[in-house]
Amino acid sequence: MRWTPKAVMVAVLLGLGACAPHEPRAAFVLALAGDPARGEALYAQTCAHCHAAQAQWRLTLQWYGKNGFVSTLIDGVPHSRMPSFSSWTDQQLADVHAYVRTRP
């Protein structure tokens, strides 16, 4: 069987998408109404130094979905510079998620 570059890319993307994190707490966070203004302030204090002031997260949200994005905030990414924010309250997580969703 011969794999075309496009078929290889699709297989890789589907495989990575299946690896999206699934933190049980994320469902509770997503049930809350986040406040984008509070989320923006928290993002500026803790996230912007690595991720820049302009939150460009559409690809991450599309790739991992809402649950995966919040799960990544909670668990961090092992063996990377992305820390865990599990000490944040569910409301703080919901606020940052709400802010990031407002970004273009």
- In this structure, what CATH number is given to the domain that contains residue 60? 1.10.760.10
Q: Which residues touch 28 (CB under 8 Å, ≥6 apart)?
A: 90
Helix (H, G, I), strand (E, B) or coil at 59: helix
Q: Total structural domains in the chain? A: 1
- Look at residue 66 and tell me if it is in a domain: yes
CA–CA distances in Å: residue 67 to residues 10, 55, 73: 22, 18, 10
- Look at residue 9 and tell me if it is in a domain: no
- Look at residue 52 and tell me if it is in a domain: yes
- Look at residue 77 and tell me if it is in a domain: yes
pLDDT number for residue 37: 98
Q: pLDDT per residue over 13-23, tens digit each?
A: 444 444 556 77
Residue 31 has pLDDT above 70, yes or no: yes
Q: Which of 28-37, 59-68, 73-82 has the highest mean pLDDT?
A: 28-37
pLDDT number for residue 39: 96
pLDDT number for residue 50: 83
The residue type found at 12 is: V
**Where in the sequence is the domain holding 47, given as residue range(s)?**
21-102
Distance CA 58, CA 71 (A): 16
pLDDT band at 65 (very low <50, low <70, confident <90, very high): confident
Burial class (CB in 10 A: 0-12, 13-18, 19+), 78: exposed
In the predicted model, what is the mean pLDDT of residues 55-73?
A: 72
On average, the pLDDT of the chain sits at 79
More confident residue, 81 or 10: 81
- Look at residue 42 and tell me if it is in a domain: yes
- Look at residue 12 and tell me if it is in a domain: no
The owner of tokens 């909670």 is 74
Q: pLDDT per residue over 81-104, tens digit each?
A: 889 999 999 999 999 999 988 887
